[in-house]
Amino acid sequence: MVKKAILIRNAAATDFGGGERVPVFLARELAAFDVQALILSRSEKLLAFAKAENVAHQKSWWWSRQDWSGKNALLFPTYVLWQIILYAYYLSIFAKHKPTTVHIQSKDDFIAGSLAARSLGIQVLWSDYADLKHIWLNHSVWYKNPVGKLVYWAARFAHTIVVVSNNDRSDIAQHIPNGAIKDKLTVIYNGAFDQYSPTKKNKLFTIVSTGRLVTDKGIGELIRAFKTFHTEFPDSQLQLIGDGPEGEKFKTLAKSVDGIHFLGHKTNPLEYVATADVFVLPTYHEGFSLALVEACMEKVAIITTNVGGNPEIITHEKNGLLVTVKSDDELYNAMKRLYVDELLRKKISERARKEYVASFNFKDIVEHKFVPLYKGVWQ
């Protein structure tokens, strides 16, 4: 019997990372197990990606206002009204499509989507992409975080709450008491489909970074470190893939270096990652980076910061180099080390590929983690 699943994922217009690509990958792979998946999203980038991957998708409702802290908390009654409207919307969507599972992957939808699904007797899964550790901060303090309180209340309707790293599970657990909701937390790593094939590298020594152009992705540190690196090794280039609200600021910072290229948003950044000598993710915080997994899959040497879930993917000196967050000097030294020591670069890239095959092949993750989870919901 064919099962139906609705996957809901919303994000800011500038966001397009692992959290936005995973539902498309999941929907595509679930088809092999007779699960018809439909993606609901307001994100134009996610919908375009779903279309490119031939995955069923539908534009849905989402409110871009996400900050309800501080003085904005006075507008909380408006947020409650929005949730009531969204509940009615999802109720109509679920009644029309009759899914057996609703898999929700974004904050506002946790509340209205869960309540609508359970009103129709549909089981609910949540996937958290490093949001709940912030959403549930101070939710138990009576005068703080009203949205967090609503999300916590809605968690009772979720069958399972999937988190992307052990680090995230630990961070979330700090904010909630022992009991039924904490027991719902289960770790399933993000993964990537194996698209690896030996790829010819660029003539220039190429460093690639993908992600939003915002401060907390470490873009400023990366540009400053590369400036020093490029002065010493002019046969090099830095390719920055992605866009974001601080793009112009970083372009100004990089203006004096002809080796830095801003390539903008790319639906498929892997074609650039595959031709890189080094992949760098200098983020200040991270739940679990699909970009790192994809770099491992593409057999590329990796430099990343020792934060969040990154050390669950990268073991220092084995399949990559871990550096201290916000350190221009450590980024520069790691780049220089991989430039000078070609043998080290080759060894860690080969080990990165082995780690991907062993732990992060998404076909295996879907078959052995998600499909049993879905079946558990259906029973």
Q: What is the CATH number of domain 205-359?
A: 3.40.50.2000
Model confidence pLDDT, tens digit, residues 347-375 = 999 999 999 999 999 999 999 999 998 88
Model confidence pLDDT, tens digit, residues 36-63 = 999 999 999 999 999 999 999 999 999 9
Residue span(s) of the chain under CATH 3.40.50.2000 come to 3-191+361-378, 205-359
- Mean pLDDT over residues 327-344, rounded? 98
- Mean pLDDT over residues 3-9, rounded? 96
Identify the band that residue 379 occupies on the pLDDT scale cut at 50, 70 and 90.
low
More confident residue, 145 or 39: 39
Q: What is the pLDDT of residue 268?
A: 83
Q: In the predicted model, is pLDDT for residue 179 greater than 90?
A: yes
Give the SS3 label for residue 257: coil
Cα separation of 24 and 57, whole Å? 9
Q: What is the CATH number of domain 3-191+361-378?
A: 3.40.50.2000
Say how many Å lie between the first and final Cα of the chain, rounded.
14
* Residues 36 and 3: beta-carbon distance below 8 Å: yes
* Residues 348 and 318: beta-carbon distance below 8 Å: yes
Q: In the predicted model, is pLDDT for residue 92 greater than 90?
A: yes
Mean pLDDT estimate for the chain: 94
Using alpha carbons, select from 115, 101, 110 the residue that is nearest to residue 128. 110
Cα separation of 377 and 170, whole Å? 24
Identify the band that residue 84 occupies on the pLDDT scale cut at 50, 70 and 90.
very high
* Residues 17 and 212: beta-carbon distance below 8 Å: yes
**Residue 167 corresponds to which tokens in the numbers above?**
């680090």
Model confidence pLDDT, tens digit, residues 187-214 = 999 998 898 988 888 899 999 999 999 9
Strand order in the sheet with 321-323: 260-264, 236-241, 205-210, 278-281, 301-305, 321-323
Using alpha carbons, select from 153, 162, 209, 210 the residue that is nearest to residue 184. 162
Q: What is the pLDDT of residue 144?
A: 87
Strand partners, 59: 41
Q: What is the percent of the chain with per-residue pLDDT over 70, rounded to a whole number?
A: 99
Q: What is the pLDDT of residue 378?
A: 64
Q: What is the pLDDT of residue 1?
A: 62
**Residue 127 corresponds to which tokens in the numbers above?**
């996937």
Q: Can you give the pTM of this predicted structure?
A: 0.88
Identify the band that residue 140 occupies on the pLDDT scale cut at 50, 70 and 90.
confident
More confident residue, 295 or 65: 295
Q: What is the pLDDT of residue 218?
A: 97
